[in-house]
């Protein structure tokens, strides 16, 4: 059944931490505040009772009362609880005194419910709780009245009668205040705790404009950065009575925009959020809306974030309504600019900072182009530094509050900026590249080149000329295939470990020999005499001591290419009087007399860019092998997969990225990386990129969604410099026949349409669309190339048969009377017994070994030998129905000797086509699929040739990234490079993208494209 994979459920739970739910739940539990509500900030003015609980020493309480500017009463009354808001309030006019007079006066008179005047000794800067001495009128009902709060604008304060016959509260204001509807006092004390709002409510009209999502009566909304943001399942509170601009929590005054610690789960660290709203419900409950910051370990990185700076936070758009009492204390947070080319120095231990935004969707870490308005306008006091990547130093200083100007230089020095001018990213941030600019690509673990080939094809469709400049792989046959198709590429047949060591040594050599290349002195042409190594000679051979003259150096490597048992930096030497076949690898220590030859080689090598230097690579891609997580490996290390030598290539890949600092990174891997050992390797990969200050996101893409007859779900991880545009993931273009799925924890990372989202998809591509034009071949076919026998039957076949020049869009290919040859259309030859079995498999849909004579199927769908018949034997004496097929999956499998059919797809192309355990038989021919048929299923064009044995060619194709998938990713990266992509994680590809070979330029948005002949 065809389906638009992947469809993402809107009700899926995110794997990321959701501090909102826990904070809200704990906020109303007065008993759970406990010792975590410690005085973490000297601005926190707590209550004596709470302070005692938290173990604060007495000297702290003494210091709290010494400079209040008022005459304090007993400690018990001073540190008493605040008043619940269920008491009736009485608005008292202050006569003819103006507000300004009230602000400037240290005395004001109010009238209590009983009428007599009370002289209050107040201070205009007072924002904490204090008690009042007995009034001079001697009224016992006014004894120990307490000033609950005095707002910053001093237009309002509260007075409570603590010891009178009745509990009374007076609200004194210079303007009218809306009376509070009385509710059950016990309930409100429980939910509101020691909190109350300060000042008058925001006017209703203004509140509805600023926070409309809280006033949508009769409508349901979700919590998040706005009502349309489906980042959390809790509904927004809609029974809102009014909003406030300030609140007092345990004696500490909070403004909208302040950052605060928020009560976390029991025995776990507190959360951190930014206050966006204060509001009161119609029931009298006090709430705040918090916008969350993530700590590194709270993101998808989890335990793999342990090497991150503990003071680093990640901004998010997630907001939630929480009880005001969940707030603990203020916290200072500063935004900074991330840099990948400067080693960060530690910030002061008391200062949190953030330089990226985190989004749960596709586990995205992205740069903040601008500081959100809630930060820059509502909370200037909380911002130490605001640095916009697109602005100059002067622009940055304009955005900073005056109080922060003096701190700018300190923060610059903390992050590697020597002076203020270094803050500007002029010359660092790249402008929109011209279509004529060549971008360079390094393909690590390149194999035969499926990933880099597709990336270059897709990038050209966006208008970017991406060229594979370097490639590295340890498979010699795969390197030969890559060289055959990409002769312009510098291909190195070596391990990634050796390549990394070589890059480090090459940088040192360039420093030593290639400084000021344009001014190099003329090389000394005098040859040097050195001892030529002879690894095959005996120890007593005279050859070991014989000296030869060096003609020139022709290559460089790091490792042990001659297998002499010693790794190190080696040069390939061309000896004077000898040909290339006599070249030998010599250690650099043995070439001490050849400084001029080394200099010449390095200078010419830098000019030819035989090896990349840091900053010279624009894109690094690769799929580091992880044999340690393979399901076929019975000895997997579940507890510490990173300690497994077979998994260390992920670390090597990231080490190369860290050394070269490319603008863009794309890593591919199997889905098992998310299923094995709690996704440790995937989290580690993402964490390494983010730790290097790269933006990052990862998703899962199915090859069938982009026009291939196979499902093949793979994980892709994007990374890019903080001042580049983070590439999007391309949405599916085709329906697909579902074949398996992903880990439930990461279902939100599947690249696909959400439920209910409108989509226009092409029908699923099946085997007939891909293979029906290929000529019939036998099991014994061994020709390297054969002619086509008929023309293309489908649009896919017409595209896949394009010559290289036409497919890459350089020029139109005129092949009217020329019929090109078909390469690699030959199968791996079956053994005689297997071939005889295959010949008896019916040529029909669903046929497999169960259709061989002598088998029966029981009620449990288990295959067995027919006990009523004698077991049939082949001429070799082996049974026609082999035991391994009967026992595979306890007799329930239908894969052994399975025949594919024209209207089907394959689950995943593997490295070894094995008819014993897979359905790999051609629908109408008695053989397995050929090399070319397998390559087409992977999306390789017919012009793409392969080297090595038949077995090696199958392995290269099975290990490759499907070309249409990397093509779609290359297009997305090209748009990001050209600054034409959006900020959303997903991109809609142009119609007929899979079969397009013409540049697709955006008109005004990514969804509006036009074809432009190249």
Q: Which of 282, 284, 116, 298 is nearest to 195 (CA)?
A: 284
- Going from the C-alpha of 958 to that of each of 189, 674, 755, 952, 953, the distances in angstroms are 66, 20, 33, 10, 9
Residue 796 in 3-state DSSP? helix
Dihedral sign for Cα 479, 480, 486, 490, please: positive
CA 66 to chain centre: 51
Residue at token pair 């949508």: 216
Q: Is 405 helix (H, G, I), strand (E, B) or coil?
A: helix
906's CB contacts (< 8 A; 6+ apart) are: 709, 710, 711, 767, 900, 919, 920, 937
Hey, is 117 helix, strand or coil?
strand
With beta carbons less than 8 A apart as the criterion, state whether 988 and 1002 touch. Answer: no
- Looking only at the bridges linking them, the beta strands covering 736-737 and 713-720 are unpaired
Helix-helix angle 649-660:496-513, to 10 degrees: 20
Helix residue spans in 400-464 (DSSP H): 408-414, 450-462
Contact (CB, 8 A) for 86 and 183: yes
The percent of the chain in helix, strand and coil, each rounded to the nearest 5, is: 30, 20, 50
**Distance, CA of 571 to CA of 557 (rounded, Å):** 6
**On the CB side of 899, how many CA atoms lie within 13 Å of its CA?**
24
Distance CA 118, CA 811 (A): 94
CB of 818 within 8 A of CB of 787? no
- Per residue, the 3-state secondary structure of 639-687, as one string, reads CCHHHCHHHCHHHHHHHHHHHHCCCEEEEEEECHHHHHHHHHHHHHHHH
Which entry of 242, 626, 705, 720 is annotated as an active-site residue? 626
Query: What are the residues whose beta carbons fall under 8 Å from the beta carbon of 42, sequence distance 6 or more?
Result: none
Residue 207, token pair as written in the block: 């509140």
Give CA–CA dist 172/199, Å, rounded. Answer: 10
Q: Is 20 a catalytic residue?
A: no
Determine how β-strand 7-8 pairs with β-strand 286-295: unpaired
CB distance 453 to 443 below 8 Å: no
Q: Apex CA 311: angle with CA 697 and CA 685, to 5°?
A: 30
Query: CA-CA distance, 837 to 847, in Å (whole number)?
Result: 12
User: Where in the sequence numbering do the catalytic residues fall?
Assistant: 626
């Amino acid at each position: 059944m065809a389906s638009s994979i992947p469809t993402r459920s809107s009700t899926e739970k995110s794997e990321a931490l959701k501090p909102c739910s826990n904070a809200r739940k704990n906020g109303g539990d007065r008993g759970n505040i406990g010792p975590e509500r410690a005085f973490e900030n000297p601005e926190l003015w707590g209550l004596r009772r709470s302070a005692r609980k938290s173990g604060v020493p007495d000297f702290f309480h003494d210091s709290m009362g010494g400079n209040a500017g008022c005459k304090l009463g007993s400690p018990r009354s001073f540190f008493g609880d605040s008043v619940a808001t269920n008491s009736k309030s009485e608005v008292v006019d202050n006569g003819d005194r103006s507000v300004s007079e009230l602000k400037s006066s240290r005395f004001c008179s109010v009238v209590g419910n009983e009428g007599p005047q009370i002289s209050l000794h107040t201070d205009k800067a007072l924002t904490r709780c204090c008690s009042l001495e007995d009034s001079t009128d001697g009224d016992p009902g006014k004894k120990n009245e307490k000033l609950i709060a005095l707002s910053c604008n001093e237009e309002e304060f509260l007075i409570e009668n603590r010891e009178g016959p009745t509990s009374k509260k007076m609200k004194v204001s210079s303007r009218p205040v809306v009376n509070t509807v009385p509710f059950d006092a016990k309930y409100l004390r429980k939910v509101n705790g020691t909190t109350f709002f300060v000042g008058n409510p925001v006017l209703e009209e203004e509140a509805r404009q600023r926070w409309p999502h809280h006033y949508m009566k009769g409508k349901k909304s979700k919590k998040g950065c706005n009502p349309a943001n489906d980042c959390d399942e809790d509904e927004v509170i809609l029974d809102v009575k009014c909003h406030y601009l300030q609140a007092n929590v345990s004696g500490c005054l909070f403004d909208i925009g302040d950052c605060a610690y928020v009560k976390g789960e029991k025995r776990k660290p507190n959360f951190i959020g930014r206050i966006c709203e204060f509001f009161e419900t119609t029931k009298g409950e006090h709430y705040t809306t918090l916008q969350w910051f993530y700590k590194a370990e709270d993101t998808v990185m989890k335990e793999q974030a342990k090497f991150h700076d503990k003071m680093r936070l990640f901004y998010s758009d997630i907001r939630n309504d929480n009880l005001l009492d969940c707030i603990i204390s203020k916290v200072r947070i500063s935004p900074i600019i991330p840099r990948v080319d400067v080693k960060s120095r530690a910030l002061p231990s008391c200062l949190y900072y953030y330089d990226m935004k985190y989004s749960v969707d596709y586990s995205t870490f992205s740069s903040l182009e601008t500081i959100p308005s809630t930060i820059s306008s509502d909370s200037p006091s909380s911002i130490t530094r605001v640095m916009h990547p697109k602005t100059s130093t002067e622009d940055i200083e304009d955005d900073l509050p005056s109080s922060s100007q003096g701190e700018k230089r300190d923060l610059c020095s903390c992050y590697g900026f020597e002076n203020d001018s270094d803050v500007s990213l002029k010359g660092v941030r790249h402008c929109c590249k011209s279509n004529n600019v060549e971008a360079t690509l390094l393909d690590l673990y390149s194999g035969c080149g499926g990933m880099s080939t597709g990336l270059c094809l897709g990038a050209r469709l966006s208008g970017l000329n991406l060229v594979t400049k370097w490639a590295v792989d340890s498979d010699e046959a795969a390197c030969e295939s890559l060289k055959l198709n990409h002769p312009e590429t510098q291909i190195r047949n070596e391990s990634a470990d050796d390549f990394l060591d070589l890059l480090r040594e090459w940088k040192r050599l360039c420093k030593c020999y290639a400084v000021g290349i344009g001014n190099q002195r003329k090389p000394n042409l005098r040859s040097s005499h050195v001892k030529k190594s002879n690894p095959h000679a005996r120890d007593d051979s005279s050859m070991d001591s014989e000296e030869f003259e060096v003609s020139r150096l022709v290559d460089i490597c790091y490792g042990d290419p001659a297998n002499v048992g010693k790794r190190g930096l080696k040069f390939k030497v061309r000896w004077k009087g000898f040909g290339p076949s006599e070249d030998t690898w010599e250690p650099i220590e043995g070439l001490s007399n050849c400084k001029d030859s080394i200099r010449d080689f390095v200078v010419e090598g830098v000019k030819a860019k035989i090896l990349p230097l840091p900053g010279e690579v624009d894109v690094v891609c690769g799929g580091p092998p992880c044999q340690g997580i393979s399901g076929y490996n019975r000895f997997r290390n579940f507890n510490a997969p990173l300690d497994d030598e077979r998994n260390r290539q992920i670390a090597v890949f990231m080490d190369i990225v860290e050394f070269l600092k490319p603008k863009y990174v794309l890593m591919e891997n199997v889905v098992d990386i998310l299923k094995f050992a709690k996704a440790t390797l995937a989290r580690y990969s993402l964490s390494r990129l983010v730790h290097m200050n790269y933006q990052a996101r990862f998703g899962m893409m199915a090859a069938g969604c982009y026009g291939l007859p196979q499902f093949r779900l793979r994980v892709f991880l994007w990374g890019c410099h903080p001042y580049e545009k983070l590439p999007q993931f391309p949405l599916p273009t085709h329906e697909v026949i579902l074949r398996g799925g992903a880990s439930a924890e990461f279902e939100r990372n599947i690249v696909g349409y959400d439920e209910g989202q409108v989509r226009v998809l092409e029908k699923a591509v099946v085997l007939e669309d891909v293979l029906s034009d290929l000529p019939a071949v036998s099991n014994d076919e061994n020709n390297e190339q054969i002619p086509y026998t008929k023309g293309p039957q489908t649009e896919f076949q017409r595209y896949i048969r394009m010559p290289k020049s036409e497919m890459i869009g350089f020029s139109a290919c005129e092949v009217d009377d020329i019929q090109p040859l078909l390469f690699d259309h030959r199968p791996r030859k079956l053994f005689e017994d297997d071939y005889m079995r295959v010949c008896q498999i019916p040529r029909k849909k669903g046929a497999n070994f169960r259709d061989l004579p002598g088998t029966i199927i029981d009620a449990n769908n288990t295959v067995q030998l027919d006990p009523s018949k004698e077991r049939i034997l082949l001429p070799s004496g082996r049974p026609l129905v082999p035991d391994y097929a009967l026992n595979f999956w306890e007799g329930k499998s239908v894969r052994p000797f399975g025949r594919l059919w024209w209207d089907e797809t394959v689950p995943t192309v593997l490295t070894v086509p094995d008819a014993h355990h897979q359905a790999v038989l051609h629908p109408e021919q008695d053989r397995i699929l050929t090399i070319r048929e397998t390559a087409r299923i992977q999306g390789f064009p017919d012009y793409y040739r392969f080297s090595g044995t038949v077995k090696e060619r199958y392995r290269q194709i099975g290990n490759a990234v499907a070309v249409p998938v990397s093509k779609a990713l290359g297009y997305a990266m090209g748009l990001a490079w050209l600054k034409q992509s959006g900020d959303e994680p997903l991109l809609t590809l142009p119609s007929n993208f899979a079969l397009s070979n013409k540049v697709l330029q955006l008109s005004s948005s990514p969804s509006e494209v036009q074809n432009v002949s190249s």
